[in-house]
Amino acid sequence: MQRKTVVITGGNRGIGLSITEAFINAGYFVIVGARHEMGLSSRFGDQVSFISADVRDEAAHRRLVDVAVKKTGTLNVYINNAGFSEWRPIEKIDEKFFDDLIGTNLKGAFWGCKAASSAMQDGGCIINISSIAGKRGSANNSAYCASKFGVNGLTQALAKEVGPRGIRVNALCPVLIPTDGLIDALKSPFSPAKGDPEGFISKFIADNAALKRLPTGEEVAAMGLFLASESASAMTGQCINVDCGVFPQ
Ligand code: NDP
């Protein structure tokens, strides 16, 4: 089988790092775009190419796509994973905060979709890492929820637009995964954890998760690999929960 190429934004840590590892292990050429290298090359050697990229910048996505095509001759999969969460009540949201959060989570995924879909051939696959927060609102989370509802809308609309060219576009919607980014965000007094991430997570699991645990980055990555595979060839425009049964009421 011919080796495939994947671009992963934010593939240097957190959920993105789990995705990077899974795609390396599945034999893909992996290209990671993020602002910091975080020891990727010492860990994975030439199995991964790191490109310095700020996802808020459209040109950065074009560079990632160009590198993929120049290095490997093709772009099969593009994963818009880069993003962050920060809880704030609406009266504390100013233009800088709004632009940074929407610029990273929504505009970042948008430019990634644009660059990837322009370079992809029949069989191409775009995966957006969205969130359960893209399906339901929660207090002090208006900007983040708006960004992730936007990502789900982008996913559905683009699936319709590029489907006739044989390109599939799907989103994964994880619930809380205790990455460094999430734990930092939960330390905020405005977050539902009110400064006690561990206590909040335990209670959240007991009250909300059907499986009485939270998903892992590896489980998100496994769903990503499935979506990128031929087994998912009929799936497009889907926003799939990876949430251990939190979403159903
Ligand atoms: P982390 O905070 O652990 O990592 C964030 C990643 O995004 C890093 O790789 C970071 O790299 C990258 N990133 C952030 N801003 C930019 C930028 N401007 N340009 C390029 N890269 C950027 O986050 P998680 O792993 O927790 O989250 C990853 C994704 O999953 C996000 O989209 C998040 O919204 C989503 N998600 C996370 C959940 C969770 O509970 N953890 C739940 C649901 C969804 P660098 O700083 O080097 O640029």
Q: Which pLDDT value is given to residue 31? A: 98
Distance 236 CA to ligand 1 centre (A): 23
| CA dihedral sign, ordered 143, 80, 151, 196 | negative
User: Which atom of ligand 1 is found nearest the CA of 85?
Assistant: 34
Place of tokens 């671009």: 7
Domain residues for the domain of 136 are: 5-176+214-242
Integer angstrom CA distances of residue 219 from 14, 94, 198, 215: 12, 35, 21, 6
Query: Residue 172: phi, psi to the nearest 5?
Result: -110, 135
In contact, 26 and 14? CB cutoff 8 Å: no
Place of tokens 């970042």: 108
Q: Which pLDDT value is given to residue 195? A: 84
CATH, residue 70: 3.40.50.720
Q: Which pLDDT value is given to residue 249? A: 87
Domain assignment present for residue 68? The answer is yes
Domain assignment present for residue 248? The answer is no
Distance 18 CA to ligand 1 centre (A): 12
Domain assignment present for residue 197? The answer is no
Domain assignment present for residue 195? The answer is no
Domain assignment present for residue 232? The answer is yes
Domain assignment present for residue 238? The answer is yes
In contact, 135 and 152? CB cutoff 8 Å: yes
Q: Which pLDDT value is given to residue 222? A: 99
Place of tokens 């990455």: 179
Enter the tokens of residue 221.
């990555």
Ligand 1 touching residue 204 (CB < 6 A)? no
Task: Give per-residue pLDDT as tens, 187-208.
Answer: 999 999 988 999 999 999 999 9
Enter the tokens of residue 21.
């590892």
Ligand 1 touching residue 106 (CB < 6 A)? no
Distance (Å, rounded) from C-alpha 65 to C-alpha 122?
16
Q: Which residues of the chain have pLDDT under 70?
A: 1
Q: Which pLDDT value is given to residue 144? A: 98
Q: Which pLDDT value is given to residue 61? A: 98
In contact, 171 and 128? CB cutoff 8 Å: yes
